[in-house]
Amino acid sequence: MALCLNMHAGEQVKSPDGRLVVDFDLAKGGIPTYCATFAGEQIVKPSHMGFILADSTKLDRNFAVTATSRGSEDDTWTPVWGENSTIRNHYNSLTVDMAQPRHGIKMNIEFRVYDDGFAFRYIFPEQTRKYLVIDAEKSQFAMADDNTAWWIPGDYDTQEYEYIKSKISEIPAFANTKFQENASATLLDPLGVQTSLMLKTPSGKYLNIHEAKLIDFPAMHLSVDGPALTFTSALTPGIDGHMATIATPFETPWRVVMTGDKATDILATNIIYNLNDPCALDDTSWIHPTKFMGIWWGMITGANSWAYTDAHDFDLATFDYSKAKPNGRHLANNEDVRRYIDFAAENGMDQLLVEGWNIGWEDWFGKGKDYVFDFQTPYPDFDIKALNDYAHSKGIKLMMHHETSGSPANYERFMDDAYDLMNRYGYDAVKSGYVGNILPAGSHHYDQRMVRHYLDAVKRAADKHIMVDAHEAVRPTGLARTYPNLVGNESAMGQEYQHMSMQHCTILPFTRLKGGPMDFTPGIFEMDLDKTAPGNTTDKKATIANQLGLYMTMYSPLQMAADTPENYAKRMDAFQFIKDVPLDWSISKYIDAEPGEFIVVARKDKNSENWYAGGVNAEEPRNVDLALDFLEPGVKYEATIYADGKKADAITNPHDYKISHRKVTAGDTIKLRMARGGGFAIEFKKL
């Protein structure tokens, strides 16, 4: 009997533990409709489903159910890297086959209900219509309450925003104020939000709306009907003005609502990965967690340049760099790269990212040019063979950098050659990027064509045993389960924004990280940026202990130590944690958290018996009584505690930290204080 749908013949599917219940029925007029109840509380009110096609065919009504089937699954899989060494995939499912006799179209909806969330997708089986051109998706998420939301605005080209906390009903009021000043924004109109969207109900339950397995389809934003408290899927338009062209048979990405009694349940759920396909690669032995430094922060802060000269507006094809005057700020040069290699190799890094190694950076930005880079020709002061040989002789690798400057066609043109060059010189990881407007004009970063491009780049890289970390690409939706060489993405405001709010890092694990790891670039040790780049007046709003805590709270198999060797050399005792922290875990336990306030997590190293813990904090200084009951009982551990100093404060005293040592057991509690913008990191070495 339907619980939240007031209908006679509905279908119901419950989570394995019975606490999450999803009802489906056709409403009057044959409208596919679902609703959901969690722990006895309605969380999603009756919500409509379907599509509108370009020829005006309405696939959101006039359906008849032709069959229903049920299933369940309970298995455990082993990720190549991750927060846990095994993941349980446990759900009940319902598939409703439907037909729309008038247009001869068949469309099925599959639901999967887990203990920690539910999902649905549309399946177009083999049918007479071979192509469907979609103009709108009409999946609603009608919230039962005016929940608190942590959101960033719906934008077809970037997620690089700070989060806003407001009630759902308040979101539309931001439309004419907040974001208009950003001239390059391609915002949903009227203002909507992006996923993953973090929500909290008035009764204290946590929800999160996202999508999983985004393949061959545009990314989904959510439009907001404030008074009705209803979100509706809003797809990213393609250059032809349509949202998507699909060939039947076709399965859409999953639309997912995560559920939790506690905030930490949302951090812990693996539902997004579970909704993706198992690993598609036969051999994954070449994929490995990677800790790296970079020829990078100097450019981001403004001390150095990607470009070799200060010349502009020349023809790249005929320009003779060997005769050009160097600008003296080009950091990707033989001498500095060697110096960085030495430091990285001596300090346990696996790789050194080098940006600005290839010609074209003089005019890379904002020119709307298709051909900017060939990803193969080094600047005259970067000896690609000698530097790779030198790095290898020291036991590390260089990391490749491909900035596409928003020109996917140009990247596709050179991609195989560029990957071959990597194979030739011994690179096995590439950081790619998509800065600028996507060409041709009118395309968007999150449209169907670009979603195909990003995955194609990952698959072609896998063929050549190359790991990918793509910046400015579409936010991840769990595809790293299937293609674990996708070891990172940016797809959010990262530390390259040198001054973010203190809340930001306490929200990202609830939102951006649900789809996959982020190349956030933690580990800034000199918060007074003027010291790194004279004239840079921004100060980072974080303490040193906060920067260490990020290695624990922002899970990624790819972690940067983003600051410069000079800045680390001043604080080698704190840098020790960055050297020691593992990037791959057998167990992760989220201990306590609240979005926008703080996160505390403990994790067990996959390759040893050691545990690690860490926390990050936003603006309210906070005491943490860390009960060590996650440790193995009866065993002694040597704890090395990296904490905020007594006077630490992200704004007034960011460099105050204290390192202490203690012998502890599972019965102990460590008392910590996280400063404003602070944090902590602890290593527990089994004795």
Which among 83, 490, 496, 683 is annotated as catalytic?
496
Q: Which is nearer to Ca ion, 21 or 473 (CB)?
A: 473
Q: Within 434-453, which residues bind ligand NOJ (CB under 6 A)?
A: 435
Q: 525 contacts which partner out of Ca ion, ligand NOJ, none, CB within 5 to 8 A by kind?
A: none
- Kindly state the smallest distance separating residue 161's Cβ from Ca ion, in Å: 12
Position closest to ligand NOJ via CB = 403
Q: Which is nearer to Ca ion, 159 or 640 (CB)?
A: 159
Per-residue x/- track, 459-498, Ca ion (CB under 5 A): ------------x------------------x--------
Residue pair 596/165 in contact (Cβ under 8 Å)? The answer is: yes
Residue pair 592/600 in contact (Cβ under 8 Å)? The answer is: yes
Q: Which is nearer to ligand NOJ, 296 or 419 (CB)?
A: 296
Q: 242 contacts which partner out of ligand NOJ, Ca ion, none, CB within 5 to 8 A by kind?
A: none
Q: Which is nearer to ligand NOJ, 232 or 405 (CB)?
A: 405
- Tokens describing residue 347: 């300090």
Cis peptide before 440 (omega within 30 of 0): yes
With 0-12 / 13-18 / 19 or more C-beta atoms within 10 angstroms meaning exposed / middle / buried, residue 81 is buried
Q: 200 contacts which partner out of ligand NOJ, Ca ion, none, CB within 5 to 8 A by kind?
A: none
Q: Which is nearer to ligand NOJ, 155 or 355 (CB)?
A: 355
- Tokens describing residue 403: 């900035």
Cis peptide before 79 (omega within 30 of 0): no
d(CA 580, CA 395) in angstroms, rounded, equals 17
Kindly determine how many residues on this chain lie close enough to bind ligand NOJ according to the rule CB under 6 A.
Answer: 8
Which among 559, 595, 566 is positioned nearest to 580, based on CA atoms? 559
Q: Are strands 254-260 and 20-27 parallel, antiparallel or unpaired?
A: unpaired
Per-residue x/- track, 588-627, ligand NOJ (CB under 6 A): ----------------------------------------
- Kindly state the smallest distance separating residue 500's Cβ from Ca ion, in Å: 13
Q: Which is nearer to ligand NOJ, 471 or 475 (CB)?
A: 471
Q: Which is nearer to ligand NOJ, 116 or 403 (CB)?
A: 403
d(CA 513, CA 592) in angstroms, rounded, equals 17
Kindly determine how many residues on this chain lie close enough to bind Ca ion according to the rule CB under 5 A.
Answer: 2
- Tokens describing residue 292: 């790296």
Q: 355 contacts which partner out of Ca ion, ligand NOJ, none, CB within 5 to 8 A by kind?
A: ligand NOJ
- Kindly state the smallest distance separating residue 276's Cβ from Ca ion, in Å: 24
- Tokens describing residue 174: 């931001």
d(CA 641, CA 680) in angstroms, rounded, equals 7
Q: Within 398-437, which residues bind ligand NOJ (CB under 6 A)?
A: 403, 433, 435
With 0-12 / 13-18 / 19 or more C-beta atoms within 10 angstroms meaning exposed / middle / buried, residue 444 is buried
Q: 563 contacts which partner out of Ca ion, ligand NOJ, none, CB within 5 to 8 A by kind?
A: none
Residue pair 536/578 in contact (Cβ under 8 Å)? The answer is: no
Q: Within 282-311, which residues bind ligand NOJ (CB under 6 A)?
A: 296
Which three-class secondary structure state does DSSP give residue 273?
helix
Q: HSE, CB side, 13 Å, CA atoms: give it for residue 174.
A: 23
- Kindly state the smallest distance separating residue 364's Cβ from ligand NOJ, in Å: 8
- Kindly state the smallest distance separating residue 535's Cβ from ligand NOJ, in Å: 19
Residue pair 134/252 in contact (Cβ under 8 Å)? The answer is: no
Residue pair 39/261 in contact (Cβ under 8 Å)? The answer is: yes
User: What size, in residues, is the chain?
Assistant: 687
Per-residue x/- track, 483-512, ligand NOJ (CB under 6 A): -------x-----x----------------
- DSSP label at 359? T
Inter-residue long-range contacts of 109-114, CB under 8 Å, 24+ positions, other chains counted: 109/24, 109/32, 109/49, 111/13, 111/22, 111/24, 111/34, 112/254, 112/275, 113/13, 113/14, 113/15, 113/20, 113/21, 113/22, 114/15, 114/16, 114/20, 114/90, 114/269, 114/271, 114/274
- Kindly state the smallest distance separating residue 30's Cβ from Ca ion, in Å: 45
- Tokens describing residue 554: 């922002």
Q: Please confirm, yes or no, whether 496 is among the known catalytic residues.
A: yes
Position closest to Ca ion via CB = 471
- Tokens describing residue 495: 């530390």
471 binds ligand NOJ (CB under 6 A): yes
d(CA 684, CA 661) in angstroms, rounded, equals 10
Q: What is the DSSP string of 329-350?
A: -B-SSHHHHHHHHHHHHHTT-S
Interface residue with ligand NOJ among 25, 157, 355, 683 (CB under 6 A) is: 355
360 binds ligand NOJ (CB under 6 A): no
Q: 403 contacts which partner out of Ca ion, ligand NOJ, none, CB within 5 to 8 A by kind?
A: ligand NOJ
Q: Which is nearer to ligand NOJ, 490 or 597 (CB)?
A: 490
Angle, helix 544-553 to helix 572-580, in steps of 10 degrees: 0
Which three-class secondary structure state does DSSP give residue 14?
strand
Q: Which is nearer to ligand NOJ, 471 or 589 (CB)?
A: 471
Element (H, E) at 427: none
Q: Which is nearer to ligand NOJ, 25 or 403 (CB)?
A: 403
Which among 254, 251, 252, 257 is positioned nearest to 231, based on CA atoms? 257
Contact residues: ligand NOJ, CB under 6 A: 296, 355, 403, 433, 435, 471, 490, 496
Contact residues: Ca ion, CB under 5 A: 471, 490
Active site (catalytic) residues: 496
